[in-house]
């Protein structure tokens, strides 16, 4: 019943002249996964997405969808659809005509186009605005129209290029909940490019952290977050301290740190900053080697035993909480 | 304070208003006034007569000449649009680097470093009976006899118009095209549009304001021209501009003014109609 629609990247490479934008990356996205490509700008995540979409030629390697090699097919013949960063809605067409654009290109008749476009607009709750022009829509509405347009071709994989970056923070959180809900309902694979770790953590079943044209670490979101393998991943995902220890660098989550007496703990330190964050208190301390670490304490723990700036403390953690880092 | 702000506003608008008033509005009013004057073979005299208009609008020649003017305008418009759109499209969408786009764009303007008349006249030795075009065609064996219609014909008039005015089509179209978000082209490809479909359903509709501005330039220039028609047709064809020029040559200023007013009204109506179809405000 369920078709194999796994998306596979096989040593996918993109070169621009002598620069390598994507360096032989390989990954397997299972059918119906919500995956995030996460990384700083220029890490190759967008090029990767554009190669999957067919808007960028593949220099080497291949993209497989359900075991078919789609690396050299035109964008519309791949089973993928793309939602662009600025939504790329056609400014001269109404929302309904934007959504039905691909059907028009296929030469479908007007009645059929109208019905299908309305179905799609129903899905994203935009029926009332079908006759508006894109310029008359808010950012969130434009995004929904762009989603409907991408989904009307019934793609097996939806590619989203920084879909939330143009929205204000409040709307961003609402739209990301809607994206996740839509993905669950449709059951198709979503591949979402972002540089926001909170967005990735909130949405993704799997995350692929990229840096310098390579995959730094990839896997189930929780596994990656709980056990970052490199200092880059630990820092990029946030909420981690990277500490150089005599036996090598380790990553420890800031909420895994406990405060103890200096002599009873693994690391001695001096408090340099205390930041109240509502539910938590972030406490920054300097430890030997002039390194800064941040401990995140619940407000109850902190105010049960308040500390002062400049106070000497000991930082301790459970044995399993620290992860040795490579590189 | 408020008074002051108003005053500053008026003062800042004054220089341009004065220039337009003295050099645009006043002459037009003058032409309109003179168009009602009377004339004999040797004199003109102030009056308020409709003779000039009556003569103009009842003469069969007027209609022939106006028809000819429209014919030049329409054919020139079609040719410049086709060439201008193609050139602009190539520059905007097929040349990837901005440096090359600017370089090639400047290349398009090089012929405009010489004057209109010189560019026009340089066609004459090329198209003449024993010109380069005819001798090349004969030596290639394409024709046996020189072609007569190459020079001093409608063909040469329109050729010169297209040569002179295509850039006026290229510039606004190129300008509009450069503002088209390139991701729209990708979005069209993503929706399965072929190259032609993208052109017709995305690029052409979004380029309309540029096409319209170019159209206004070209139509206004061709409708008001007299020198190109005179040189390139060897005075064998006429347009409205030539008619006015003839009247002026005969010192028939009232008649020339009446023709000018009719031409002005025609062109304004034409442009007004065009503007009803396309909103060019966001281009300005």
DSSP designation for B42:
S
B128, B209 in Cβ contact below 8 A?
no
Q: Identify the pLDDT of residue B3.
A: 67
Q: What Å distances lie between residue A199 and A32, A138, A142, A202, A227, CA to CA?
A: 19, 21, 19, 5, 19
Are the beta carbons of B190 and A150 separated by less than 8 Å? yes
Higher-pLDDT residue of B108, A34: A34
Cβ-based contacts of A75 with chain B (< 8 Å): 186, 189-190, 192
CA B131 from centroid of its chain's CA atoms: 28
Under 8 Å between Cβ of A12 and A48: yes
Q: Judged by CB atoms within 8 Å, which residues 36-75 of A form the interface with B?
A: 53-55, 74-75
Q: Give A-chain residues touching B189 at CB under 8 angstroms.
A: 54-55, 74-76
Do B186 and A106 make contact, defined as CB atoms within 8 angstroms? no
Name the average pLDDT for chain A: 91
Average pLDDT over residues A196-213: 93
Whether B202 and chain A come into contact, CB under 8 Å, resolves to yes
Query: A1 pLDDT exceeds 50?
Result: no
Alpha-carbon dihedral B42, B43, B49, B53, rounded to 10 degrees: 50
Nearest residue on chain B to A55, alpha-carbon basis: B186
**Contact in structure between A32 and A66 (CB atoms under 8 Å):** no
Q: Check CB contact under 8 Å for A81 and B184.
A: no
Enumerate the domain spans of chain B.
61-283
pTM given for the model? 0.83
**In which residue ranges of chain A is CATH 3.40.50.300 found?**
7-226
CATH class for domain A252-317? mainly beta
In the prediction, which pLDDT does A4 show? Answer: 81
User: Which of A65-79, A250-264, B184-198, B253-267 shows the lowest per-residue confidence on average (mean pLDDT)?
Assistant: A250-264
Identify the band that residue A244 occupies on the pLDDT scale cut at 50, 70 and 90. confident
Contacts of B97 in chain A (CB under 8 A): none
Second-level CATH architecture of B61-283 = Orthogonal Bundle (1.10)
Per-residue pLDDT of chain B (284 residues; tens, 9 = 90+): 556 778 888 899 999 999 999 999 999 999 999 999 988 888 888 989 898 899 999 999 999 999 999 999 999 999 999 999 999 999 999 988 889 999 998 888 887 888 888 888 888 888 888 888 888 888 888 888 888 888 888 999 999 999 999 999 999 999 999 999 999 999 999 999 999 999 999 999 999 999 999 999 999 999 999 989 988 988 888 889 999 999 999 888 999 999 999 999 999 999 999 888 877 776 55
Instruction: Using CB atoms within 10 Å of the CB of residue B141, give its burial: 0 to 12 exposed, 13 to 18 middle, 19+ buried.
Output: exposed
- Max distance between CA atoms of chain A, in angstroms, equals 79
Interface check for B193 against chain A (CB to CB < 8 A): the answer is yes
B278 touches chain A (CB under 8 A): no
Residues of chain A with CATH 2.40.50.100: 252-317
User: What token pair was written down for B263?
Assistant: 């031409």
The band of A265, judged by pLDDT with boundaries at 50, 70 and 90, is confident
**Chain A residues 93-132 with CB within 8 Å of chain B:** 101-102, 104-106
- What is the torsional sign of CA B146, B148, B151, B157? negative
The answer to whether A24 and A61 are in contact (CB under 8 A) is: yes
Pairing of β A34-38 and β A189-194: parallel
- B206 in contact with A, Cβ within 8 Å: yes
Nearest to A18 by CA among A195, A217, A213: A213
Check if the beta carbon of residue B187 is closer than 8 Å to that of residue A87. no
Best A57, A77, A78, A84 residue to mutate vs chain B (most B CBs within 10 Å): A84
Token pair in block for residue B111: 């012929």
The yes-or-no verdict on residue A311 having pLDDT over 90 is: no
Residues of A in contact with B205 (CB under 8 A): 92
Number of Cβ pairs < 8 A linking chain A and chain B:
63
Q: Which residues of A touch B206 (CB under 8 A)?
A: 90-92
Lowest mean pLDDT among A215-224, A271-280, B9-18, B37-46: B37-46
CA distance linking residue B106 with residue B86, whole number of Å: 16
In chain B, which residues have their Cβ closer than 8 Å to the Cβ of A105? 188, 191-194, 197, 201
Query: Does the structural domain A7-226 have CATH classification 3.90.1300.10?
Result: no
Our CA-based measurement puts residue A218 at a distance from the nearest CA of chain B, in whole angstroms, of 28
Contact criterion met (CB < 8 Å) for B190 and A53 = yes
- H/E element holding B8? helix B2-20
Mutate which: A47, A54, A102, A148, vs B, most B CBs within 10 A: A102
Statement: residue A122 has pLDDT above 80:
yes
According to DSSP, residue A265 is labeled S
Answer yes or no: is pLDDT of A236 > 80.
Answer: yes
Residue A243: both structure tokens together: 């500490």
């Amino acid at each position: 019943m369920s078709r194999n629609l796994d998306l596979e990247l096989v040593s996918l490479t993109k070169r621009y002249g002598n620069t390598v934008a994507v360096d032989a990356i390989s990954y397997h996205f299972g059918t119906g996964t919500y995956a995030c490509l996460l990384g700083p700008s220029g890490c190759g995540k967008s090029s990767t997405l554009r190669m999957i979409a067919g808007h960028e030629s593949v220099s080497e390697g291949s993209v497989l969808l359900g075991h078919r090699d789609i690396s050299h097919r035109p964008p519309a013949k791949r089973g993928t659809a793309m939602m662009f960063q600025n939504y790329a809605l056609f400014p001269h067409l109404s929302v309904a005509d934007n959504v039905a654009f691909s059907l028009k290109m296929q030469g479908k008749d007007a009645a059929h186009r109208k019905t299908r476009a309305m179905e799609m607009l129903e899905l994203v709750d935009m029926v009332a605005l079908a006759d508006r022009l894109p310029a008359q829509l808010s950012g969130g509405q434009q995004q929904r129209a762009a989603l409907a347009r991408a989904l009307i071709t019934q793609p097996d994989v939806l590619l989203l290029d920084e879909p939330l970056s143009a929205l204000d923070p409040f709307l961003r959180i609402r739209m990301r909940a809607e994206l996740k809900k839509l993905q669950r309902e449709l059951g198709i694979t979503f591949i979402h490019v972002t540089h926001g770790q909170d967005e990735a953590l909130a949405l993704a079943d799997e995350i692929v952290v990229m840096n310098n044209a390579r995959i730094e670490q990839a896997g189930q979101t929780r596994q990656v977050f709980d056990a970052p393998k490199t200092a880059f991943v630990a820092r990029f995902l946030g909420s981690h301290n990277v500490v150089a220890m005599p036996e090598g660098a380790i990553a420890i989550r800031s909420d895994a740190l406990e405060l103890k007496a200096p002599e009873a703990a693994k690391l001695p330190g001096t408090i340099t900053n205390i930041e109240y964050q509502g539910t938590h208190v972030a406490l920054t301390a300097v430890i030997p080697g002039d390194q800064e670490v941040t401990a995140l304490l619940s407000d109850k723990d902190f105010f049960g035993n308040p500390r002062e700036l400049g106070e000497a403390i000991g930082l301790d953690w459970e044995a399993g909480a620290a992860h040795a880092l490579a590189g | 304070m408020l008074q002051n702000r108003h005053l500053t506003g008026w003062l800042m608008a004054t220089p341009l208003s004065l220039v337009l008033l003295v050099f645009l509005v006043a002459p037009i009013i003058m032409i309109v006034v003179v168009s009602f004057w009377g004339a004999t073979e040797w004199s003109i005299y102030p009056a308020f007569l409709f003779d000039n208009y009556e003569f103009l609008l009842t003469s069969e020649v007027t209609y022939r000449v106006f028809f000819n003017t429209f014919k030049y305008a329409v054919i020139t418009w079609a040719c410049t649009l086709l060439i201008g759109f193609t050139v602009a499209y190539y520059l905007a969408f097929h040349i990837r680097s901005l440096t090359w786009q600017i370089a090639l764009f400047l290349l398009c303007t090089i012929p405009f470093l010489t004057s209109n008349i010189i560019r026009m006249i340089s066609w004459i030795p090329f198209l003449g009976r024993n010109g380069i075009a005819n001798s090349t065609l004969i030596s290639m064996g394409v024709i046996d006899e020189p072609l007569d219609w190459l020079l001093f014909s409608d063909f040469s008039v329109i050729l010169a118009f297209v040569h002179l005015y295509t850039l006026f089509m290229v510039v606004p179209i190129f300008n509009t095209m450069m503002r088209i978000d390139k991701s729209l082209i990708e979005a069209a490809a993503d929706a399965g549009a072929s190259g032609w479909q993208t052109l017709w359903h995305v690029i052409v509709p979004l380029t309309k304001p540029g096409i319209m501005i170019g159209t206004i330039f070209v139509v206004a220039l061709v409708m008001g021209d007299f020198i190109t028609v005179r040189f390139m047709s060897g005075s064998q064809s006429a347009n409205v501009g030539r008619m006015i020029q003839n009247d002026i040559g005969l010192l028939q200023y009232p008649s020339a003014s009446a023709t000018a007013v009719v031409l002005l009204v025609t062109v304004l109506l034409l442009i007004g109609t065009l503007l009803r179809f396309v909103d060019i405000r966001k281009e300005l």
